[in-house]
Amino acid sequence: MLFFPTWKQDSLSLQKDEQLLINYNYYVVFLLIAPPVYTVADRFFAIEGDILRIDPILDAIPFPTIFSWTRNGVPYTPPSGGSVGADFIDFGGPIDRSVAGTYMVSSTNDAGTGSATFELIIYCELNTTN
Protein backbone atom coordinates (compact mmCIF):
# COMPACT_ATOMS: atom_id res chain seq x y z
CA MET A 1 0.00 0.00 0.00
CA LEU A 2 1.30 3.45 -0.93
CA PHE A 3 0.43 6.82 0.59
CA PHE A 4 -0.19 9.65 -1.85
CA PRO A 5 -1.68 13.10 -1.55
CA THR A 6 -5.42 13.11 -2.29
CA TRP A 7 -7.73 15.81 -3.59
CA LYS A 8 -10.11 17.21 -0.96
CA GLN A 9 -12.30 20.29 -1.42
CA ASP A 10 -10.29 21.74 -4.31
CA SER A 11 -6.99 21.45 -2.49
CA LEU A 12 -4.21 18.95 -2.45
CA SER A 13 -3.57 17.44 0.98
CA LEU A 14 -2.86 14.16 2.63
CA GLN A 15 -5.40 13.57 5.37
CA LYS A 16 -4.35 11.61 8.40
CA ASP A 17 -5.27 7.92 8.16
CA GLU A 18 -6.34 8.27 4.51
CA GLN A 19 -4.74 5.91 2.10
CA LEU A 20 -4.76 5.62 -1.64
CA LEU A 21 -4.28 2.13 -2.94
CA ILE A 22 -2.56 2.02 -6.30
CA ASN A 23 -3.41 -0.99 -8.41
CA TYR A 24 -0.58 -1.79 -10.81
CA ASN A 25 -1.31 -3.68 -13.99
CA TYR A 26 1.19 -6.40 -14.63
CA TYR A 27 1.99 -7.41 -18.15
CA VAL A 28 3.69 -10.66 -18.93
CA VAL A 29 6.04 -10.37 -21.85
CA PHE A 30 7.20 -13.51 -23.55
CA LEU A 31 10.51 -13.16 -25.30
CA LEU A 32 10.55 -15.49 -28.24
CA ILE A 33 13.84 -17.26 -28.75
CA ALA A 34 14.55 -20.13 -31.09
CA PRO A 35 17.68 -22.19 -31.70
CA PRO A 36 19.33 -22.01 -35.13
CA VAL A 37 17.63 -24.08 -37.83
CA TYR A 38 19.27 -24.38 -41.26
CA THR A 39 17.69 -25.18 -44.61
CA VAL A 40 20.19 -26.13 -47.29
CA ALA A 41 20.44 -28.53 -50.22
CA ASP A 42 22.30 -31.80 -49.64
CA ARG A 43 24.56 -31.24 -52.64
CA PHE A 44 25.90 -28.34 -54.70
CA PHE A 45 27.51 -28.66 -58.12
CA ALA A 46 29.87 -26.13 -59.69
CA ILE A 47 32.37 -25.96 -62.53
CA GLU A 48 36.01 -25.18 -61.94
CA GLY A 49 36.53 -21.44 -62.49
CA ASP A 50 33.06 -20.45 -61.23
CA ILE A 51 32.59 -17.71 -58.64
CA LEU A 52 30.70 -19.39 -55.80
CA ARG A 53 28.81 -18.29 -52.72
CA ILE A 54 26.44 -20.59 -50.85
CA ASP A 55 23.76 -19.10 -48.58
CA PRO A 56 22.00 -21.64 -46.37
CA ILE A 57 18.70 -20.31 -45.02
CA LEU A 58 19.09 -19.70 -41.30
CA ASP A 59 16.16 -19.16 -38.93
CA ALA A 60 17.13 -18.21 -35.39
CA ILE A 61 16.05 -15.72 -32.72
CA PRO A 62 18.34 -14.08 -31.76
CA PHE A 63 20.74 -14.34 -34.70
CA PRO A 64 23.73 -16.53 -33.76
CA THR A 65 26.96 -14.81 -32.79
CA ILE A 66 28.99 -18.00 -32.46
CA PHE A 67 29.50 -20.09 -35.58
CA SER A 68 32.04 -22.36 -37.23
CA TRP A 69 32.59 -24.06 -40.58
CA THR A 70 34.34 -27.35 -41.26
CA ARG A 71 35.36 -29.03 -44.53
CA ASN A 72 35.79 -32.80 -44.41
CA GLY A 73 35.73 -32.61 -40.61
CA VAL A 74 38.56 -30.04 -40.36
CA PRO A 75 38.00 -26.39 -39.37
CA TYR A 76 37.63 -24.38 -42.58
CA THR A 77 39.45 -21.12 -43.26
CA PRO A 78 38.35 -19.39 -46.48
CA PRO A 79 40.96 -18.53 -49.10
CA SER A 80 42.18 -14.97 -49.60
CA GLY A 81 39.20 -12.85 -50.62
CA GLY A 82 36.73 -15.39 -49.26
CA SER A 83 34.66 -15.13 -46.12
CA VAL A 84 32.21 -17.05 -43.95
CA GLY A 85 29.33 -16.08 -41.69
CA ALA A 86 26.67 -17.91 -39.74
CA ASP A 87 24.52 -17.96 -42.90
CA PHE A 88 26.94 -17.90 -45.85
CA ILE A 89 30.20 -19.15 -47.30
CA ASP A 90 31.91 -17.13 -50.03
CA PHE A 91 34.87 -18.74 -51.77
CA GLY A 92 36.22 -15.35 -52.86
CA GLY A 93 37.07 -15.93 -56.48
CA PRO A 94 37.28 -18.59 -59.16
CA ILE A 95 37.09 -21.99 -57.51
CA ASP A 96 39.06 -25.12 -58.29
CA ARG A 97 38.72 -28.77 -57.34
CA SER A 98 40.56 -28.20 -54.06
CA VAL A 99 37.41 -26.69 -52.48
CA ALA A 100 35.32 -29.81 -53.12
CA GLY A 101 34.23 -31.71 -50.04
CA THR A 102 31.66 -32.07 -47.29
CA TYR A 103 30.96 -28.82 -45.46
CA MET A 104 29.27 -28.32 -42.13
CA VAL A 105 28.18 -25.06 -40.53
CA SER A 106 27.29 -24.94 -36.85
CA SER A 107 25.99 -21.93 -34.94
CA THR A 108 24.86 -21.15 -31.41
CA ASN A 109 22.56 -18.57 -29.86
CA ASP A 110 20.93 -18.21 -26.42
CA ALA A 111 18.38 -20.91 -27.25
CA GLY A 112 20.72 -23.64 -28.48
CA THR A 113 22.82 -24.94 -31.35
CA GLY A 114 21.97 -25.90 -34.92
CA SER A 115 23.95 -27.23 -37.86
CA ALA A 116 23.72 -28.18 -41.51
CA THR A 117 25.85 -30.34 -43.79
CA PHE A 118 26.19 -30.34 -47.56
CA GLU A 119 28.49 -31.73 -50.21
CA LEU A 120 30.21 -29.52 -52.77
CA ILE A 121 31.13 -31.24 -56.04
CA ILE A 122 33.38 -29.44 -58.51
CA TYR A 123 33.51 -30.49 -62.16
CA CYS A 124 36.40 -29.60 -64.40
CA GLU A 125 36.06 -28.75 -68.04
CA LEU A 126 37.77 -31.19 -70.34
CA ASN A 127 40.06 -29.78 -72.96
CA THR A 128 39.41 -31.86 -76.05
CA THR A 129 41.91 -30.08 -78.30
CA ASN A 130 44.62 -32.31 -79.65
The model's pTM is 0.72
Name all domains of the chain by residue range, CATH numbers in brackets: 37-123 (2.60.40.10)
pLDDT value for 8:
45
Dump the DSSP string for 35-64. EEEEE--SEEEEETT-EEEE--EEEEESPP
Q: Where does the pLDDT of residue 76 fall: very low under 50, low under 70, confident under 90, or very high at 90 and above?
A: very high
pLDDT in tens, 102-120: 999 999 999 999 999 999 9
Q: Where does the pLDDT of residue 48 fall: very low under 50, low under 70, confident under 90, or very high at 90 and above?
A: very high
- Cis-peptide, bond into residue 62, ω within 30° of zero: yes
